[in-house]
Structure 1
């Protein structure tokens, strides 16, 4: 279900982002609208993405999702509507790739968290999902790839 996890040091990355706190049952509607809004701001400001779009989550979802929809960029985006410039901090992370339909992501996360606990690693608390291959790239969910990452305490 997931690739072999690895530990990696990642540099800080600039992002254009929108912060959202939404009911869990409405996540897909808000995530899609937020992504569209960030993409539109980048088009209007003639800024190109420098990597796959991602979500940066501040807590494990329960009845709500508290997260940012982000697109990595090389230059700061000017504030536009809800879109603002931000940065993902440099960190030592645990990372893996889940392959398949998004409906299987919760099980991928369980497998990943089990590995993190087995390695006796301590998460900082936030985590990311980067959508490296998705519905925009392939109609076949078996091709979809989502990078899961968790900053670690060092």
Structure 2
């Protein structure tokens, strides 16, 4: 958008006009947090994930602890080599008093899972590491810097602002936990990149 143009009433002033190419190493977005929504047209990226369905939000922390603390480390022992920070990709979400989600917890890869660990299943306590991917297509991205406790609010704002780009949010949507937390980490400094598949609204011209 040139400096002489004005944003239309239904677009945010900083809304991108068209999707750009992803940065080298995508889904790594670079060392600096993404300030403001960006639209990217991205390739598919292979992942290794623990896939779970129908998880109540109240049990989500337990599922994350199991995946990252027990199941995925078994994959590392077998040769799994992450190509970026851990992710959680949500494929379905039912909101309400008994909110539940379907999601995939794991890591992006540079090569398909079978090329790294072979075809032998890796399973711990009934949870298995499976091959999946981050989808190709048009996505919106933004960074959240702050406590994980604030992610729900950050997602709400992000989804609301996507309309200002002339797109509508879709599924899947996912988080990349860029900052590796430790007991000494200040929660206010945690960076989480938020990604959402987007589409042109049905009522668009």
1:44 to 60, 70, 77: 77
Paired residue for 1:17?
Answer: 49
The alpha carbon displacement at 1:38 in A equals 4.4
TM-score (norm 2): 0.68
| Structure 1 residues 56-135: aligned runs within 5 Å | 56-62=89-95, 63-75=99-111, 76-77=113-114, 78=119, 79-81=121-123, 82-135=128-181
Runs of 4+ in structure 1 deviating by more than 3 angstroms, as ranges, are none
Q: What is the root-mean-square deviation in Å for CA atoms of aligned residues?
A: 2.0
The alpha carbon displacement at 1:111 in A equals 1.4
The alpha carbon displacement at 1:139 in A equals 1.3
Using the alignment, how far apart are the partners of 2:44 and 2:183 within structure 1?
27
The alpha carbon displacement at 1:121 in A equals 0.6
CA contact (8 A) 1:96 1:149 kept: yes
Consecutive unaligned residues in structure 1, runs of 5 or more? none
Deviations 1:5-45 (A, max 9, x none): 10012211111111112111011111121123443133222
Largest Rg, 1 or 2: 2
The alpha carbon displacement at 1:137 in A equals 8.8
CA contact (8 A) 2:49 2:129 kept: yes
Give the total of aligned pairs: 153
Larger displacement relative to structure 2 (135-144 or 67-76): 135-144
